[in-house]
Structure formats: C-alpha cells, structure tokens
C-alpha cells in the first residue's frame, strides 16, 4: 500500500469535501407545522433564489437588504400585484446558510390561507416544492454536516422526551461523529505505520517495535468499538423507548392495562377469553419517559390456527422485550400460575414484573410477590408507573458523558468494523503479510466512514432522508 492510498482514505465526508459544491434547483416549503399559528416559516433554498424572490417584494426592497439581518417586507403575488402578507424575512448567502446554498426564510402570519397562497405563488414562479428532508440533504451534500448529524437533526425534531433529546443531540451536535472520526483517524495512523513498513522493508530492528505499536493502536480502537456496541442496549432505549411487553393468559386484563396506560381505548376488551389475537404496539409517555407498550395475545394451548400464531408471537415478544409485565388475576388457576412462573424463569427474573390484576376481586395469598393492580378501581397504577420509570432510568442512567450508540444503522457499521479488527488480530497472530493487515484496517476504516457518509452512500442517503418531514 502506498502513501497515496492513505491520503485518499484521509478525506472529510460528503461530496463537498471532494471540492464539489452542490447547487440545487430552487425549492420552497413550509418549515413549521401546518395549521393555524401566530407565525409560519417558509423556507427557500437553491441556485438563484436571491434573484427569484425579488419580484415578490416592492422594487428595490430586496436589493437594499443585508444578509442574515431580519427585514420587514410586503409579499405580493407577482401576477396580480396583490399584497398577500406583511412579513419578516431573512436572506442567507451560501455557503453561510444551513444548506450551504443561497437561502431565504419568510416569517409570515401563520394562517393556512396565507401560507398556502404564498407557497402557491412561489411554486408558480420559479420554485418547486421541496421533498422530505431535501434541505438537510443539501446541507449534507454541501459538507455542512455529516450523515449522522443529519440523522440527529431528524431525531431532534421528533424528540418528545428528554431521553430522545439526549440521543438526538449527541448526533446533531457532531459529538458522536467526532468520536467516530477519532477512531477512524487512529486506524489511518496505524495504516500509515504499516505502509512505512511495506515501503521501507529493510529498516531492520525497528520492524517488531513498529508492529507492536500498530497492534496497540488497533487494540485501543477495538476496545472503544466494543464499548460503543455495549452502549446500544441503553442508547436504543433512549432513542426508541423501553420495549415493555404485557404477557399473561387470556382474560387477565392485558388489553385493559394497555388502554389504561395509554389513556384511550386502543385495544378491544371483552370478557371473552382470546379477544386479542395479534400483538398491538403503541408508544406511550409515562412521567416523561418514552415506552413502547406491547399488548399480546393471551397464552394458552389454542386450537384455533390464528390464535396459535398469536400465542407464538406473544412468547417471542416476551423474549425480545426490555421489560415484561407478567399478569395473573385472583381467578388464575394453580397450573396457570405455574406456567407464568416457568415463563419468568425462562425470560429471566430480573426482566419481569409479576402483577396481580383485578385486585378489586381479592388478593390471594399466593400473590404476595405480585404488584396488586386494579384498572377498574385505579389501584396500583402509580406503583406500576414508578416501576417503569425506574426501569427506563436504569438504562438511561448508564449513559454517561461519553457518546453512545442509538441507531441500528450505526450499530451495524460498528459491528462490521469490529469484525474487521478481529480479522486483523487473527492475521497478525498468524504472522500474515503487512499488506493483509492493512487491508483489514482499511475495511474497518471504511465501515466507520459509512456512519459519517463517506462511502457508497447513495442507498444510505435515500434511506436516511426518506423519512424526514418536508421543510427540514
Ligand atoms: N374486576 C375487574 N375486571 C377487569 C379488570 N381489568 C380487566 N377486567 C375485565 O377482564 C376482562 C378481560 O379483559 P381484557 O383486558 O380483555 O383481558 P386480556 O388479558 O386482554 O384478554 P385476551 O385478549 O383474551 O388475552 C374484561 O371483561 C375486563 O373488563 C379489573 O381491574 N378489575
Ligand atoms: Mg386482550
């Protein structure tokens, strides 16, 4: 491997780093939520937008205006010259804008009629509607942010709890990317040492020392990757919520509990055993924590084919969940209780909370280790909510100041990089050529680049930006 190869590895991310600046067609979209509001923000970006906007305002109003300073203007329909709204506006000259292109933001009165009229006017005169995430995608294409920061921005916008905000912020601020970049640059350094050994093979004594140095650098990265991988268990809960499964035999009040925690009638409840046949998943905020509640089909030896499949799903969900609520009622038979006990053992006792539902009907002695709960009387709900909060905080509390993993895309890349480093250690132990060692390091570095968006990104880009909202 030559030093030229190394230099080509050592690039910033995004096409802009290759000296290309992205100049897109003029786009316009509402950046704030639709509906009536005091103010709405309409955002425009692209090639020539500062010229295109002029006919919408009185002659000269835009010419005199400074970049990044708010102005007061009268927005008119250029076809009829009818004034639509008096509004505030800001112009940004690329590259000093969010997208890196020339951009404008209009702060108009937030009525749906005004917003639609303005957008229609813009779309009639040179602008086209923006696609979901198009502004952020342009920012990425212009090197204003890396791909993980773009994902973070989307999550920041969607965050409804402190835990999601924490996970989104470390991405959006670039703190996570910085960590990845640090690890990648240590690998590049290690590759540089290997390259020196390859290019100057006759330096004699220094060879072994150099390889030990390479090994120690790679080991440092490997340990960091392992610790990032471990952080995913908590990071996932922060970003996506705690997965809580409600499990039990039919008629234990699982769906009733789901509805009670949600505060609305999501699941069908009847006195007929076997009412729920498939699982239902709903996000739920409990005391500011995000929880993914899953109501399941009651576990029993079902003869009905559909119900049987439902029961299989319940058991799978019980295994996959972060926390399992195991429901029994005063009517539970001893064999039913034994079945739940066995299931708790199988799942892991520390992952389960046994609950006695319908506690208004009685509290049998066998239920002394269960949390008593009556949805009809509202008893025990506070204690259950507290138990859920403790669980979430148990995960989140482990997230210290260090960057952590919260996305499955990033997890896959980290795992791939870790496997490449394992292959490096194996090759090194087996005494393989330096070229092969360098190849493994290069693969690992490339996997890390994928997080930031450096390599083979087209399909990743589509996936990342597809789910954005319009105007972001
Ligand atoms: N007395 C009393 N009845 C309850 C309570 N919670 C639920 N029930 C009743 O128990 C019956 C079954 O409730 P569901 O919530 O449908 O039970 P489930 O566990 O989802 O049942 P499947 O979907 O068949 O597995 C209904 O008639 C509910 O009204 C409670 O706290 N007290
Ligand atoms: Mg049910």
Whether residue 25 is predicted with pLDDT greater than 80 in this model: the reply is yes
CATH architecture for the domain at 170-238+407-464? Up-down Bundle (1.20)
Query: For residues 72 and 62, is the Cβ–Cβ distance under 8 A?
Result: no
Distance 309 CA to ligand 1 centre (A): 21
Whether residue 2 is predicted with pLDDT greater than 50 in this model: the reply is no
pLDDT digits (tens, 9 = 90+) for 335-357: 999 999 999 999 999 999 999 99
- CA separation, residue 208 to residues 158, 202, 213, 431 (Å): 52, 12, 9, 12
pLDDT at 62: 83
Contact residues of ligand 1, CB 6 A cut-off? 248, 250-256, 269-271, 273-276, 297-298, 357-358, 360-361, 374-376
pLDDT at 7: 33
CATH architecture for the domain at 22-141? 2-Layer Sandwich (3.30)
pLDDT digits (tens, 9 = 90+) for 400-411: 778 999 999 999
Lowest mean pLDDT among 57-66, 167-176, 335-344: 57-66
Least Cα distance to 168 among 230, 228, 234, 239 occurs for 239
pLDDT digits (tens, 9 = 90+) for 124-152: 999 999 999 999 999 999 999 999 999 99
Whether residue 18 is predicted with pLDDT greater than 70 in this model: the reply is no
In this chain, the answer to whether the domains covering 22-141 and 242-396 adopt an identical fold is no
Ligand closest to 253 (CA) is: 1
Distance 281 CA to ligand 2 centre (A): 12
Given the CA of residue 374, which atom of ligand 1 is nearest to it? 31
| Contacts for 240 with CB less than 8 Å, ≥ 6 apart | 290, 292, 406
More confident residue, 14 or 70: 70
pLDDT band at 4; cut points 50, 70, 90: very low
Query: Taking the model in full, what pTM does it have?
Result: 0.80
Distance 282 CA to ligand 2 centre (A): 14
Whether residue 419 is predicted with pLDDT greater than 80 in this model: the reply is yes
Mutate to test the pocket of ligand 1, among 269, 306, 329 (most ligand atoms within 8 A of CB): 269
Given the CA of residue 248, which atom of ligand 1 is nearest to it? 19
pLDDT at 464: 64
Look at ligand 1, atom 9, and give the residue with the nearest C-alpha. Answer: 253
Domain boundaries 242-396, corresponding CATH code: 3.40.50.300
- Average pLDDT over the chain reads 89
pLDDT at 282: 96
pLDDT band at 200; cut points 50, 70, 90: low
Whether residue 17 is predicted with pLDDT greater than 80 in this model: the reply is no
Where are the chain's structural domains?
22-141, 170-238+407-464, 242-396
pLDDT at 217: 94
- CA separation, residue 279 to residues 8, 143, 256, 291, 329 (Å): 50, 43, 14, 16, 20
pLDDT digits (tens, 9 = 90+) for 62-121: 877 789 999 999 999 999 999 999 999 999 999 999 999 999 999 999 999 999 999 999
Whether residue 14 is predicted with pLDDT greater than 60 in this model: the reply is no
Distance 148 CA to ligand 1 centre (A): 44
């Amino acid at each position: 491997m030559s030093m030229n190869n190394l230099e080509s590895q050592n690039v910033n991310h995004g096409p802009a780093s290759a000296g290309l600046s992205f100049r897109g067609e003029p786009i316009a979209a509402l950046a704030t939520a639709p509906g009536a509001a005091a103010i709405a923000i309409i955002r425009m970006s692209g090639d020539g937008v500062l010229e295109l906007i002029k006919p919408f305002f009185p002659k000269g109003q835009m010419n005199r205006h400074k970049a990044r300073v708010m102005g007061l203007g009268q927005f008119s329909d250029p076809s009829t010259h009818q004034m639509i709204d008096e509004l505030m506006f800001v112009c940004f000259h690329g590259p000093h804008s969010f997208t890196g292109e020339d951009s404008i933001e209009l702060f108009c009165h937030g009525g749906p009629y005004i917003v639609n009229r303005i957008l229609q006017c813009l779309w009639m005169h040179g602008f086209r509607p923006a696609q979901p995430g198009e502004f952020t995608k342009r920012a990425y294409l212009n090197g204003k942010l890396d791909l993980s920061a773009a994902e973070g921005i989307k999550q920041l916008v969607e965050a409804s709890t402190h835990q999601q905000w924490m996970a989104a912020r470390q991405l959006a601020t670039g703190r996570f990317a910085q960590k990845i970049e640090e690890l990648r640059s240590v690998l590049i350094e290690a590759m540089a040492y290997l390259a020196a050994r390859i290019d100057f093979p006759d330096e004699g004594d220094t060879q072994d020392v150099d390889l030990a140095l390479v090994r120690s650098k790679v080991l440092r990265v490997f340990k960091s990757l392992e610790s990032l991988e471990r952080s995913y268990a908590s990071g996932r809960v922060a970003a996506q919520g705690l997965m809580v499964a409600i499990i039990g035999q039919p008629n234990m009040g699982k769906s009733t509990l789901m509805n009670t925690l949600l505060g609305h009638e999501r699941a069908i409840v009847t006195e007929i055993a076997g009412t729920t046949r498939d699982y239902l998943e709903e996000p739920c905020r409990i005391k500011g924590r995000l929880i993914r509640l899953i109501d399941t089909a009651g576990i029993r030896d079902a003869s009905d084919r559909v119900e049987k499949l439902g029961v299989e799903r319940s058991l799978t969900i019980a295994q996959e969940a972060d926390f399992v609520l195991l429901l029994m009622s005063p009517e539970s038979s001893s064999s039913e209780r034994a079945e739940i006990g066995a299931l708790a053992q199988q799942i892991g006792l520390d992952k389960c909370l046994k609950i006695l539902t319908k506690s208004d009907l009685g509290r049998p002695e066998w239920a002394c280790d269960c949390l008593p709960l009556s949805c009809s009387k509202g008893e025990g709900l506070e204690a259950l909510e507290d138990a859920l909060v403790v669980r979430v905080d148990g995960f989140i509390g482990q997230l210290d100041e260090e960057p952590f993993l919260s996305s499955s895309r990033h997890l896959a890349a980290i795992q791939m990089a870790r496997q490449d480093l394992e292959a490096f250690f194996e090759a090194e132990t087996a005494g393989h050529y330096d070229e092969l060692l360098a190849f493994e390091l290069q693969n690992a570095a490339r996997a890390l680049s994928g997080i930031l968006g450096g390599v083979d990104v087209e399909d990743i880009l589509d996936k990342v930006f597809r789910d954005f909202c319009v105007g972001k």
